[in-house]
Amino acid sequence: MADITRRLGWRHLRGAPTAHVRHHRGGKLLHDGPGLSFWYRALTAALSEVPVDDRELAMTFHARTSDFQDVAVQATVTYRISDPTLAAARLDFSVDPDTGAWRGTPLEQLGTLLTETAQQHALDVLARTPLSAALMDGVAAVRERVTAGLATEPRLPATGIEVVAVRVVALRPEPEVERALRTPAREQIQQEADRATYERRAVAVERERTIAENELASQIELARREEQLVEQRGTNARREAEEHAAADAVRAEAEAARSVRLARAEAEGAQAVGAARAQAQAAWLQVHTEVDVAVLHALTGTRLAENLPRIDSVTVSPDVLTGLLAKLGAQDRA
């Protein structure tokens, strides 16, 4: 919308670079072009403002496929007014001299023209396409057909309109049909998810089994090693006992041999002593056999006197003295 200001019955219009302004007064064209700025009188001026920028027109309409299924088509058409003079002559782009607002609805008329034209070509191509093909390749087919149809539509260049691009956003069936179509895919996806879950569980069970087997093998190996350890300890203890027993036997044999040697030495010593004593006794007896009886008696008395206890006093009775004297006399006579 143009920017209009008031000054003492005059109006000043300042247009935008994307708006083509036409100013007529008395049937004569005074100003014509985009981005103009000029003064005019509201009572005698006839103004038109035609946008020349690219505009987006979103449209949504329903169509029916060859198998009698309803689909919703969402598309966007980008267009521009390439000939503002022709468009201003065919459509009402006049603006109020005081406010700058359009008196009519020219853009709505253009939108209706473009929507109906695009819808006509889209319906034509979808009417010969089944639903499955339309959902699979229908977007490209509809876009190509609508683009070709708008390019060959004679009313658009006659109105000064140029189509820049056509985009088909989506083709969607009715909600019930869409849910029905999604069901097999969802079931397949669910089956894939279940299979993946089962495979993960199987892998987890296999891993747990492997871990349990490894733990069991470790326990068996540990028990086997403990058994070997116990056996080795028993062997060591038995060997130690045998070594102790052998050492004790050797020690006992040494003690026995020593005792035997001692006993033998003692026996030999005793034998030697006995032999020496026997020899001494024999020599003593031999000597005594050769000595006179009186000498022997004297020696006997001496020995006897040596072995008798100490006698401080001796009392000799007459009877004893008489007997001794008698014996000594008998010995002398003999």
Residue 103 makes CB contacts below 8 A (sequence gap 6+) with 92, 94, 95, 96
Give yes or no for a contact between 13 and 4, defined as CB atoms under 8 angstroms apart: yes
Q: Tens digit of pLDDT for each residue in 42-70?
A: 889 999 999 999 999 999 988 888 888 88
Q: Is the pTM of this model over 0.85?
A: no
CB 77 within 8 A of CB 96: no
Q: What percent of the chain has pLDDT over 90?
A: 28
By the 10 Å C-beta count (0-12 exposed, 13-18 middle, 19+ buried), 77 is classed as buried
3-class SS letters over 158-194: HHCEEEEEEEEEEEEECHHHHHHHHHHHHHHHHHHHH
pLDDT tens figures, 236-253: 888 888 888 888 878 878
Which whole number is the average pLDDT over 244-264? 80
pLDDT over 70 percentage in the chain: 86
Q: Which amino acid is at 13?
A: L
Which whole number is the average pLDDT over 189-201?
A: 86
Return the higher-pLDDT residue of 155 and 283.
Answer: 155
Cα 9 to Cα 14: distance, rounded to the nearest angstrom: 17
Name 257's bridge partners.
Answer: none
Q: How high is the pLDDT of residue 299?
A: 67
Q: Residue-wise over 138-159: b if at least 16 C-beta within 10 A, else e?
A: bbebbbebbbebbeebeebeeb
Determine the number of helices (DSSP H) and then strands (DSSP E) in the chain.
Answer: 7, 10
In this model, does residue 334 exceed pLDDT 60? no
CA separation, residue 270 to residues 123, 140, 282 (Å): 149, 139, 17
The side-by-side arrangement of strands in the sheet containing 10-14 is 3-7, 10-14, 37-41
Is residue 214 pLDDT above 70, yes or no? yes
- The per-residue pLDDT for range 108-146, each reduced to its tens digit, is 999 999 999 999 999 999 888 888 888 888 888 899 999
The model's confidence at residue 191, banded by pLDDT at 50, 70 and 90, is confident
- Structure confidence at residue 287 as a pLDDT band (50, 70, 90): low
Residues 6+ apart with CB under 8 A from 57: 76, 77, 78, 79, 110, 111, 114, 115
Q: Could you read off the pLDDT of 4-38 as tens digits, one per residue?
A: 888 888 999 998 889 999 999 988 999 999 989 99
The pLDDT of residue 284: 64
Identity of the amino acid at 8: L
